[in-house]
């Protein structure tokens, strides 16, 4: 038995992880195709992204309790929307493209780390079951979006499927907001 509104949090994990996957699954190919990045250059960008993710994760740990879990998830996902659109509409400019990529990943990491504690509260008395549902939904979101994102990139040149990432991140904001409203009632 799930707490009321739990499916909103589970669906949020699906959309949030799907949104990040839109970008992650194609960013290396985008850098290679558009800017002729070598494998070494792509690896350097990957290391920089790792540093950004670490910063966002530790910031989430610091601020989520003060701001609230739902609000923190919504704020992180809200960062992803304009950043994904920035990538989509300025994809031929390396500076704005990389800034967009960094902000998308920072927003994602902040949001997902803030979302994880909600998983432990989804099923009364069964923390592991709630976390399993949340992580399973996120994994399914990544799997479902990977095929679509790579197809959009390969067939239509949509830079790292950024528009899809923006839409999914917006979906996360809406879903987590619904979860918060239901949680307030009960």
Query: What is the per-residue pLDDT across 80-130, written as a single tens digit (0 to 9) for each?
Result: 989 988 988 888 999 999 999 999 999 999 999 999 999 999 999 999 999
9: left (phi over 0), alpha (psi -120 to 50) or beta: alpha
**Residue of 169 and 31 predicted with greater confidence:** 31
Mean pLDDT of the chain, nearest integer:
89
pLDDT of residue 177: 85
From the number of C-beta atoms within 10 Å of its C-beta (0-12, 13-18, 19+), residue 110 rates as buried
From the number of C-beta atoms within 10 Å of its C-beta (0-12, 13-18, 19+), residue 29 rates as middle
Task: Give the residue-averaged pLDDT of 66-82.
Answer: 90
Whether the per-residue pLDDT at 186 is higher than 70: the answer is no
Summarize pLDDT for 24-48 with one digit per residue, the tens: 899 999 999 999 999 999 999 999 9
In our burial notation (b when 16+ CB lie closer than 10 A, e otherwise), range 75-109 reads: bbbbbbbebbbbbbebbeeeeebbebbbbbbbbbb
């Amino acid at each position: 038995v799930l707490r009321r509104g739990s499916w909103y949090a589970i669906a949020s994990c699906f959309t949030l992880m799907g949104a990040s996957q839109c970008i992650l699954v194609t960013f290396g190919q985008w850098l290679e195709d558009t800017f002729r990045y070598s494998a070494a250059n792509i690896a350097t960008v990957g290391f920089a992204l790792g540093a950004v993710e670490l910063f966002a994760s530790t910031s989430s740990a610091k601020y989520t309790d003060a701001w609230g879990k739902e609000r923190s998830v919504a704020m992180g996902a809200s960062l992803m929307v304009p950043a994904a659109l920035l990538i989509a509409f300025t994809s031929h400019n390396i500076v704005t493209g990389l800034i967009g990529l960094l902000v998308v990943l920072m927003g994602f990491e902040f949001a997902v780390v803030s979302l994880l504690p909600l998983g432990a509260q989804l099923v009364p008395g069964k923390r592991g079951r709630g976390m399993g549902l949340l992580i399973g939904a996120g994994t399914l979101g990544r799997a479902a979006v990977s095929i679509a994102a790579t197809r959009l990139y390969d067939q239509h040149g949509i830079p790292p499927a950024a528009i899809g990432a923006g839409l999914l991140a917006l979906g996360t904001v809406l879903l987590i907001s619904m979860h918060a409203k239901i949680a307030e009632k009960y």
